[in-house]
Structure 1
């Protein structure tokens, strides 16, 4: 057998690659014709049974375990690309995804009621004031779910709730609640978080034995708190609730991690300022509405979806974003209740529901997912 040098091998690969490219383009033209047929007949783009039959057939043509696996992966991607081509063609014929959302100029800010979780002086209160102004009609409820229920049942126009912190990460429970309740993200605002250690007027740091705060705040100040090994840390539903508890129980051994504003409101002394270890500590709050609306100029879309529980499922669905040149900003997974080791994914992407590429990507994901929900565009 003639011995080939590297240059000759590369030349042969170039010939094969040119042939593969020509064959790929021919295949895509045939897929375009398939799309035209589906447009006329109303047949769905994604036919999993047909794809599995095709994958089984082409894999059987390979002659080794390695090439069989490679053939399966190669043709899986070719079929995925074919589907995205067909989704685009359907959209150009007016058969695109109905998002259910309506575009508005801006959120109504006058004669509206705003609900937040906690009590006066909480960071949620501060975020509501920041977005709607200090004179807005605001009231508070005990839990995050209570706030969503207030909006869902029409007693409040908007709810202001935390969703992510720059140092402690996602407020995971609120992601789960967004799936449970029929509310939509209409806007967001950010609030700098600066925690203080608050105690009774006659208290000193050496007196402290128990510290109360929200779990996120305890996480954000863990370096400071853990340095005091004899302090017991107890979670509360809100930082301001912790401050109120310390004030009402009037126990010199108790302290709260909360804002200095909460300390002023409940008559507590600042025992230590700025105890969060990340000094650039920011919490992102979402503004929830009962109606699926988005403001003109909105540039972030939040979705959640469940994939089929098999290899490559998440990869294929996220590929719809890559194919449509959409930038993914965040991905978070949450376990699905009652289904061990299965997860629901939350994704933020750049764009607007008015963009054709966003709708095309969402159409592709929705066709391949078990379920897809658009949480908001803001």
Structure 2
């Protein structure tokens, strides 16, 4: 019986041969890539790869080895494709992306829309990014805001997309898919909720609490201590404050900001009722123009994938191979396709970066309905 050292020596010899064969295979793939550049051929041939995996699996014994060699060759072919994508991009086969690079946003002359009413967190985020003197108006829903910039009645919309404690705003992801609008910046707003009511209201008088669904989620611990209060969701925290003022009913209170309470003449009954003290909301600045800032450092994309094993795993390898840092991934159901999902990914980079171009070339060929949602600056800094 061979010793462990002898067996390891055998493995080393096999690995050396495999490394040599891998190099030979990649050299041939380089030539294939050059041929495809000249012939204008696509890199990814899904059926050929399926046939290849079935063929190599037929050459080994046992289910474990069959599955293993298919996984191995999936990776080998994935690396081959990425080499060919690189050759295509170097040859200019990616083409110009339909985004125009700019040096700065025209904040002084912009007309901006936010969702909610006076005193909304959206207004605070807008003022934080565009300044207090911004030319602005407000609408009732996120959809109304997206329609406003699509039709041109506003240049930009400032809308929430994620909260640090409550998570993503799913409706915004659906609207980003539905509308041909694009993210050009983001700004992060600290969120501090209060319980506010009519002046002189006592906590014992309250029966109903109004606020946005996310705000009610973010103050669950405080509200749970008052289990007899009915929680009622409305479109916006500022709208909740406005309702309490208009109804003039001390049985009602609102979860809203101090600013909203002041705007609508309410008294802060309890301050800082957030479940988490460090609570922030990420707002995106959206426009209908395909533009990006010269020093933009973050990219958002969306795509769909075949409903089959390994499809997401293979797609994510494009970020790994190109040394791109993926910072976020979300999924949303695809309408009309049961158990199929649309993925939203944020990653670091600029559309002019070679690594980004390589990744996008591969993603376009291997994913379905790839869209670039924007290339923008974190916190709107350029």
TM over 0.5: yes
User: Which residue in 2 is equivalent to 1:108?
Assistant: 106
Structure 1: state its 5+ residue gaps. Answer: none
8 Å Cα contact 1:97-1:362 kept in structure 2: no
Measure the CA separation in 2 of the matches of 1:332 and 1:217. Answer: 21
Residue pair 1:318, 1:365 contacting (<8 A) in 2 also: no
For residues 376 and 364 of structure 1, do their structure 2 counterparts lie closer, same or farther at Cα, with a shift above 3 Å needed?
same
SS at match of 2:358: helix
Tell me: CA distance 1:302–1:54, structure 2 relative to 1, closer, same or farther (3 Å).
Answer: same
- Tell me the equivalent position of 1:345: 343
Give the 3 Å change call, closer, same or farther, for CA 97–278 of structure 1 in structure 2. Answer: farther
Aligned match for 1:275, one of 273, 276, 284: 273
**For residues 19-34 of structure 1, what are the structure 2 equivalents within 5 Å?**
19-34=17-32
Q: CA deviation at 1:268?
A: 0.6
Contact 1:208-1:253 within 8 A present in 2 as well: yes
Counterparts of 1:1-378 in structure 2, within 5 Å, are: 3-378=1-376
2-structure distance, mates of 1:311, 1:125: 44
How far off is 1:368 after superposition?
0.5
The count of corresponding residues between Structure 1 and Structure 2 is 376
**CA–CA separation in structure 2 for the residues paired with 1:189 and 1:233:** 29
Alpha carbons 1:99, 1:374 under 8 Å: kept: no
2: CA distance, partners of 1:65 / 1:336: 34
> Structure 2: which 5+ residue stretches go unaligned?
377-382
SS in 2 for 1:182: coil
CA offsets 1:14-69 (integer angstroms, 9 cap, x no match): 11111101100100000111111111111100011111111111111111111111
- State the distance in 1 between where 2:197 and 2:71 align: 62
SS at match of 1:362: helix
Tell me if structure 2 keeps the 8 A contact 1:147–1:159. yes
In the TM superposition, what is the alpha-carbon distance from 1:126 to its structure 2 partner?
Answer: 0.4
Distance in 1 of aligned mates of 2:71 and 2:185: 40
Query: Are the counterparts in 2 of residues 221 and 276 from structure 1 also a CA contact under 8 Å?
Result: yes
Aligned 8 A contact 1:97 1:359 in 2: no
SS of the residue corresponding to residue 370 of structure 2 reads strand
Deviations 1:133-187 (A, max 9, x none): 0001010000001001100111100000001111111111101100000100000
User: Residue 97 of structure 1: CA displacement?
Assistant: 5.0
- Give the C-alpha shift of residue 259 in structure 1: 0.4
Tell me the CA shift for residue 98 of structure 1.
Answer: 3.6
Aligned CA RMSD, in angstroms, stands at 0.8
Displacement of 1:202:
2.4
Q: TM-score, normalised to structure 2's length?
A: 0.97
**What do the CA deviations read for 1:222-254 (whole angstroms, capped 9, x no partner)?**
111111110110100000000000110011110
CA deviation after TM superposition for structure 1 residue 306, in Å: 0.3
Cα distance in 2 for partners of 1:42, 1:201 equals: 72
Supply the distance in 1 between the matched residues of 2:361 and 2:234 (Cα, whole angstroms): 41
Measure the CA separation in 1 of the matches of 2:213 and 2:97: 36
Alpha-carbon distance between aligned partners in 2 of 1:211 and 1:363, rounded to the nearest angstrom:
50
8 A contact 1:163–1:284 mirrored in 2: yes
TM-score normalized by structure 1?
0.98
Deviation at 1:99, TM superposition (A): 2.5
C-alpha distance in 1, partners of 2:222/2:338? 36
Which has the higher mean CA deviation after the structures are superposed, 315-324 or 4-13? 4-13
> How far 1:339 moved relative to its partner?
1.3
Looking at structure 2, the residues matched to 233 and 363 of structure 1 have their Cα atoms a distance apart, in angstroms, of 48
Shift of 1:314: 0.4
Residue 106 of structure 1: how far off its partner (Å): 0.6
Are the aligned partners of 2:89 and 2:361 in contact in 1 as well (CA < 8 Å)?
Answer: no
Residue 365 (structure 1) shift: 1.0
Secondary structure at the aligned position of 2:93 is classed as coil
